[in-house]
């Protein structure tokens, strides 16, 4: 099952974010939808980091935008479950993405950080939403 998810995430990285978000929304199980969104976000971040490392800032910015779109879908999916317990895994994954984002920001030249800084602030908002879900009883 995990191999299938990883394969679909790897293939979907080549697709535009909108088609992947549409594919996510087609998943009837909100927990699985959230897991797929997390896997896509992680893959999008790794790809963005590669593009930034190679000097392709616009493509890196686009992939960071795809990452935040997937994470927003993850939060919406988890809200649909009405179960606070399912938030913890997502919260931990986003916390890890925040740490990785800080490393990326340290690696990017100051003049190229605009969208990455904005994405970092969006990650904080997403993390806060997930943390609120964890704390809900």
Whether 11 maps to a domain, the answer reads no
The parent domain of residue 74 ranges over 18-135
Query: How far is it, in rounded angstroms, from Cα 83 to Cα 134?
Result: 9
Whether 115 maps to a domain, the answer reads yes
pLDDT, one tens digit per residue, over 26-45 is 889 999 999 999 999 999 99
Res 100 pLDDT > 90: yes
Whether 9 maps to a domain, the answer reads no
Number of structural domains the chain divides into: 1
Whether 10 maps to a domain, the answer reads no
Whether 2 maps to a domain, the answer reads no
What tokens does 76 get?
Answer: 């919406």
pTM over 0.85: no
């Amino acid at each position: 099952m995990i191999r299938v998810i990883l394969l679909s995430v790897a293939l979907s990285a080549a697709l535009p974010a909108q088609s992947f978000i549409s594919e996510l929304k087609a998943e009837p199980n909100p927990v699985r939808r959230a897991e797929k969104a997390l896997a896509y976000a992680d893959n999008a971040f790794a790809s963005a980091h590669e593009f930034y490392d190679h000097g392709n800032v616009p493509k890196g910015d686009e992939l960071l935008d795809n990452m935040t779109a997937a994470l927003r879908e993850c939060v919406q999916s988890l809200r649909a479950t009405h179960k606070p317990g399912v938030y913890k895994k997502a919260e931990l994954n986003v916390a890890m993405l925040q740490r990785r984002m800080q490393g990326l920001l340290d690696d990017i030249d100051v003049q190229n950080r605009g969208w990455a800084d904005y994405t970092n602030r969006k990650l904080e908002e997403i993390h806060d939403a997930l943390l609120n879900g964890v704390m809900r009883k």
